[in-house]
A and B are shown apart, each in its own frame.
Chain A
């Protein structure tokens, strides 16, 4: 059952990736101006532009152009960056580990903090703890990444001189960007954990479990917890999209040389080949995260695979 679900879900992911590639392909072509010129540095000569036009097949129908494009992508050829003068693939590969470190660490820490807070708030609905948790969540949801990042630097670097504001290095460098990036995610997860727990605790099967003489503490931490985890995992999947957008801002502000900062630089440098490929790579990463999230969810909730 689970295996068949994996296959089905993999198939859906391939379709999504196909659509993303079409969008990335279209991106260069909806822009005003000559697509070939856009893929080249401003200093390119007429001959170079002409050669690029031939390479992209601009004289051929759109579907041929797409096949040429996707063929290159599948072979790992993402084109040449106009500003870096090297292959786009290698630039992205260089920057990728930094982003992976930042995002993975941030997601992990914010889940470890927010899931317990949300669950406890749900159990103690209406209490002071609940109110504070909701406040924590609502403020987090309303915190613009831009503002939070600058404030973090102002308080912890400029005023208190506790943590470095810019650059990469040891764990000290990771703290501020991770808090900035993780707070909105933690806020959403807290809310979901809370409302999920409240909903679950209203269910008959929880009363039934309590009627079996299972201690409340175990009902909360084991039985109701597993049910409450389903909406939490789902919201993590949805939030990762917002989260990756936040990474662009956070990496830019904290000079974290990852993919997000690269995206901002590429836009500034009008390096369209790079922008196009970054869109493709980030969207593909997002699709992959959603795939993983769904597989985890299906593992928790057997109803998903039984449908």
Chain B
């Protein structure tokens, strides 16, 4: 087994606002190994972004970590010194954000926004950073001379390329991509995915791909973790999970996708609505929407069980539903 790069244990995060208290993460366990690419999938509000930001110790205002541990290469992130923390952010782990329209600072040139990482972590001076930033822009398919342009002079897709260029600038060990294509047009999405695929091969970094798009996962990832109401409810290789989904929620997600080949089954939607983080149900958080729900499911939180060598599911019935 490869070395563990990022290990999250029993992570619980709560957001307290004036209006309400929301339990965003309720015991997340997740491991990413070196060289691995993991897809984290789930509906909006499932806690995907919160998991990513917590790993960088960057929870937004109002977010409290109630419990759990996060290790990066065996080091406790919460106990890291300031220097270690800064070195981890942007250098060892870098993050690409969901909305390229809001994640680039409008009053700095794209060159500056790529260059600041290089100056911070590689110790480059202004000129060297500019040269390197120019090379990175070319790598992601933007003409280098646009270094001194401002984000507003780029389209959404181009801006996301800039975000990616900044993300790969220091050749990080782990790249977290938080729905990097969600805010973009479909055609642009495909281009960005192509780019990420190419870079993944060239740079051989580990990847944590956050998305609600199952297609992206099957294209880019080996492993997949399915998230629901702040917990990972199914985990395994993409091949395993997609061909033999065990959790009723995962089944629902896959059933909601149209098939292009083979028999055209009727599309199935998951009944009910996403669990409300302010009023989470007791027991298994999915039970109100589950057609196989039992009394046990209503009372107790199921444990993660291994169903195959590389396939785990958090369900009392281990994903066996006969009849």
Find chain A residues with CB under 8 A from B85 CB: 213
Asked whether, in the complex, the Cβ of A212 is within 8 Å of the Cβ of B97, the reply is no
Find chain A residues with CB under 8 A from B102 CB: 203-205
Q: Does B37 contact A (CB under 8 A)?
A: no
Asked whether, in the complex, the Cβ of B95 is within 8 Å of the Cβ of A213, the reply is no
| Stretch among A163-171, A181-189, A258-266, A295-303 lining the B interface | A295-303
Asked whether, in the complex, the Cβ of B89 is within 8 Å of the Cβ of A212, the reply is yes
Of A205, A211, A213, the contact of B105 (CB 8 Å cutoff): A205
Asked whether, in the complex, the Cβ of A214 is within 8 Å of the Cβ of B116, the reply is yes
Q: Does A127 contact B (CB under 8 A)?
A: no
Asked whether, in the complex, the Cβ of B90 is within 8 Å of the Cβ of A211, the reply is yes
> Do A212 and B117 contact each other (CB < 8 Å), given the known contacts A205-B102, A303-B150, A306-B150?
yes
Asked whether, in the complex, the Cβ of A204 is within 8 Å of the Cβ of B58, the reply is no
Of B61, B88, B106, the contact of A213 (CB 8 Å cutoff): B88
> Do A209 and B53 contact each other (CB < 8 Å), given the known contacts A214-B90, A306-B153?
no
Closest-by-CB residue of B relative to A226 is B107
By a beta-carbon cutoff of 8 Å, the part of chain A in contact with chain B is: 202-215, 223, 226-227, 230, 300-303, 306
Task: State the Cβ distance, A195 to closest chain B Cβ, in Å.
Answer: 15
Q: Does B152 contact A (CB under 8 A)?
A: yes
Find chain A residues with CB under 8 A from B153 CB: 306
Task: State the Cβ distance, A297 to closest chain B Cβ, in Å.
Answer: 11
Complex Cα gap A198–B235 (Å): 39
Asked whether, in the complex, the Cβ of A211 is within 8 Å of the Cβ of B104, the reply is no
Closest-by-CB residue of B relative to A230 is B107
Asked whether, in the complex, the Cβ of A208 is within 8 Å of the Cβ of B103, the reply is yes
Q: Within B30-79, which residues are at the interface with A (CB < 8 Å)?
A: 53, 56, 58, 60-61
Find chain B residues with CB under 8 A from A306 CB: 150, 152-153
Closest-by-CB residue of A relative to B53 is A207
**Contact mask for chain B residues 103-120; partner A; CB cutoff 8 A; 1 contact, 0 none:** 111111000000011001
Q: Does B313 contact A (CB under 8 A)?
A: no
Q: Within B127-183, which residues are at the interface with A (CB < 8 Å)?
A: 150, 152-153, 163, 166
Report 22 cross-chain contacts, Cβ distance below 8 Å, ordered by A residue. A202-B61, A205-B104, A207-B97, A208-B97, A209-B105, A210-B89, A211-B90, A212-B94, A212-B116, A212-B117, A213-B85, A213-B88, A213-B91, A214-B86, A214-B90, A214-B120, A227-B107, A230-B107, A301-B107, A302-B106, A303-B106, A306-B150
Asked whether, in the complex, the Cβ of A213 is within 8 Å of the Cβ of B89, the reply is yes
Q: What is the total of A-B residue contacts with beta carbons within 8 Å?
A: 82
Asked whether, in the complex, the Cβ of A302 is within 8 Å of the Cβ of B56, the reply is no
Closest-by-CB residue of A relative to B104 is A205
Of B58, B108, B150, the contact of A211 (CB 8 Å cutoff): B58
Complex Cα gap A210–B91 (Å): 12
Q: Does B189 contact A (CB under 8 A)?
A: no
Complex Cα gap A206–B116 (Å): 13
Q: Does B204 contact A (CB under 8 A)?
A: no
Asked whether, in the complex, the Cβ of B105 is within 8 Å of the Cβ of A207, the reply is no
Q: Does B298 contact A (CB under 8 A)?
A: no
Q: Does B99 contact A (CB under 8 A)?
A: yes
Find chain A residues with CB under 8 A from B91 CB: 213
Asked whether, in the complex, the Cβ of A213 is within 8 Å of the Cβ of B86, the reply is yes
Q: Does B296 contact A (CB under 8 A)?
A: no
Asked whether, in the complex, the Cβ of B166 is within 8 Å of the Cβ of A212, the reply is yes
Complex Cα gap A205–B108 (Å): 11
Max chain B CB contacts within 10 Å: which of A208, A301, A303?
A208
Asked whether, in the complex, the Cβ of A223 is within 8 Å of the Cβ of B105, the reply is yes
**Contact mask for chain B residues 7-30; partner A; CB cutoff 8 A; 1 contact, 0 none:** 000000000000000000000000
Q: Does B87 contact A (CB under 8 A)?
A: yes
Complex Cα gap A213–B116 (Å): 9
> Do A207 and B60 contact each other (CB < 8 Å), given the known contacts A213-B87, A213-B90, A226-B107?
yes
Q: Does B251 contact A (CB under 8 A)?
A: no
Complex Cα gap A53–B60 (Å): 72
Task: State the Cβ distance, A131 to closest chain B Cβ, in Å.
Answer: 18
Task: State the Cβ distance, B63 to closest chain A Cβ, in Å.
Answer: 12
Find chain A residues with CB under 8 A from B104 CB: 205, 208
Complex Cα gap A166–B272 (Å): 77
Q: Does B121 contact A (CB under 8 A)?
A: yes
> Do A213 and B121 contact each other (CB < 8 Å), given the known contacts A208-B97, A303-B106, A303-B150?
yes
